[in-house]
Structure 1
Amino acid sequence: MTPEALATLAHLRRARDLIDREYASALDVPTMASRALMSPAHFSRQFRAAYGETPYGYLMTRRIERAMALLRNGMTVTDACMAVGATSLGSFSSRFTEIAGETPSAYRSRKHHAIAAMPPFVAKVTTRPLRRAAAKGSSRIREATPTAAA
C-alpha cells in the first residue's frame, strides 16, 4: 500500500470516528469531509470505496444501531428517535425498517433476553444492523448454491 493510500485511510478513519462519536449531532457530508481534509465529492467517493457505503448511509446505520440499543432498554420510539439525532419520526421509522427489517415499535415490543445475557462487546457485534438489501443478496447466494450443486 502506498504512503498516499495510507494517508487517505487515516483521514477517512478520522471522519468515521467523528461519525461514531457525534452521531446524534447534525452532521452533514461537508462537515465530515472537512475532518478528512477532502472536498465533499472526493470524500464521498473515497469513503464508499473504503467502507462500502456512503458517509450518510454509515451515519444512519450508526444511528439505527444506537436506537436499537435504546429500544431494547425500554425507551419509547419517539424518545429514541430524538436521542440519536433524527428530526423526523416518519423518516426515522422508514430508515429503521429499511435497515433493521422491522418497525421500531415491533423491535421494541420483542423480547431481547438472549442479548441481555451476552457480554456487551458480543451484543454489539451480534445486534449490528445489516441493510435488508444486503441480507437478501446473501440469502439469494445461499439459495443459488444448492441449485447449482444439484
Structure 2
Amino acid sequence: MTRHTLAARESLRLAAGDATLVFTLEGAAELVAHPRRACAGWGGRPDRPAPAHLDAGDSAFALGTTPLRVRAAAASVILVARLRPAPETSRLLAALPDVLTVGGFAAQEPGVAALAMHLGEPAAAQACAVGGGRAVCDLMATMLAVSTLRAWAVSGCAPADWAARTADPFLARVLDAIHADPGRDWSVESLAALGAMSRSVFAERFRDALGRSPAGYLAEVRMEAAKALLASGTRVSEASRRLGYESDEGFSRAFRRHTGMTPSAWRGAGLRSIAS
C-alpha cells in the first residue's frame, strides 16, 4: 500500500495487472479508464470516457484488466493498494465490472475508512516490512477491498449475474465458461450440458436468474469483449474472428446495434484516447 500526494491536475498512472484499490484520503480526483464492463456513472464510449469523480472518502476497485489514470482535481492524497486475489475468488470477481466506484464510502463504512486513514504512512509502511507486519497489512488492505465491494453491492450496482454466480453453482459454471471463451461456438444445448441440465430446464433457469436468454447474454458478453479489443487497437477483422463471427459484416452489424457506432469508429476513438 502506498500514499501518493498529488498537486492539482497531476496524474498517477496505474498499470494493468493486479487488482487495485484506490481510496481518496484528501482532496478530490478523477479516475480515468476504458472499462469493458462498468457500473452506472461510467461512459460506455471510448470517445467520451466520462471520468469517475472521487471525493475525499470515496473508494474504487479495479480488477486490473485495464490501465487506470488517477488525476487530481485539487491537491489530493490518494491511497493505492495492489492486491492479488486468491484463486477461489475468481468466480465472484469474474462477475464484477472491470472498474467500480463507491461514492460516500467513508460514511457507509466509517470504521474501515478510519483504519484506511493510517495506511500507507511512512511509519505504517515501515511496520509492514518487519516480521509479521506484512500479513497484518495485507489483511487490512483486503478488509478495505472487501468493504468496498460490499458497499458497492448494497448500493444496487451489482450485475445481473452476481446472484446466479454466488447462489447457483451450475449456472456459475456456464457463466464462467462464457466469459472465459466468448468466441466459442456455443449453443443452448452445449451450455445446458455444461450446466448438467436439460435444454428446457436450463433455458428457464437461466432466464429466471439473469432476465434474458442464454443467446442474448452471450451476445452481450461478446460485444463487451469486442469493445475492449477494439479500444486497445485490435483490428476489426481480428476481433470478429476471435469472437466467433462468421463474417466481418455480421460482426459490424451486431456491434452497431449494440453501441450505435461502427467497430472502426470505436477503435479509432479508443486509440485517440489512449494517445492522449
Residue by residue over 1:63-113, the C-alpha shift from the partner in whole angstroms, topping out at 9 and shown as x without a partner, is 111111111121211111001221222221111112122111111121466
Counterpart-to-counterpart distance in 1, 2:176 and 2:214? 12
Counterpart-to-counterpart distance in 2, 1:48 and 1:95? 22
1:56–1:116 Cα change, 3 Å:
farther
1:116–1:40 Cα change, 3 Å:
farther
| Structure 2 letter corresponding to 1:105 | S
Unmatched runs of 5 consecutive residues or more in structure 1: 118-150
Counterpart-to-counterpart distance in 1, 2:190 and 2:275? 36
Residue by residue over 1:6-48, the C-alpha shift from the partner in whole angstroms, topping out at 9 and shown as x without a partner, is 9x82211111111111212111110100111111122112111
Counterpart-to-counterpart distance in 2, 1:111 and 1:69? 9
Q: Check if 1:60 corresponds to 2:213.
A: no
Partner of 2:99: none
| Structure 2 letter corresponding to 1:88 | S
Q: Give the alignment's TM-score, normalised by structure 2.
A: 0.37
Partner of 1:40: 199
Query: Larger strand proportion, structure 1 or 2?
Result: 2
Q: Give the alignment's TM-score, normalised by structure 1.
A: 0.65
CA RMSD, 1 decimal: 2.6
The DSSP-based 3-state class of the residue aligned with 1:59 is helix
Query: Larger helix proportion, structure 1 or 2?
Result: 1
Unmatched runs of 5 consecutive residues or more in structure 2: 1-163
Aligned length: 113
**Structure whose alpha-carbon radius of gyration is higher:** 2
Contact in 1 for aligned 2:183/2:244 (Cα 8 Å): yes
1:23–1:111 Cα change, 3 Å:
closer
Partner of 2:265: 106
Q: Check if 1:93 corresponds to 2:252.
A: yes
Counterpart-to-counterpart distance in 1, 2:231 and 2:270? 8
Counterpart-to-counterpart distance in 2, 1:60 and 1:78? 17
**Identical counterparts, % of pairs:** 36
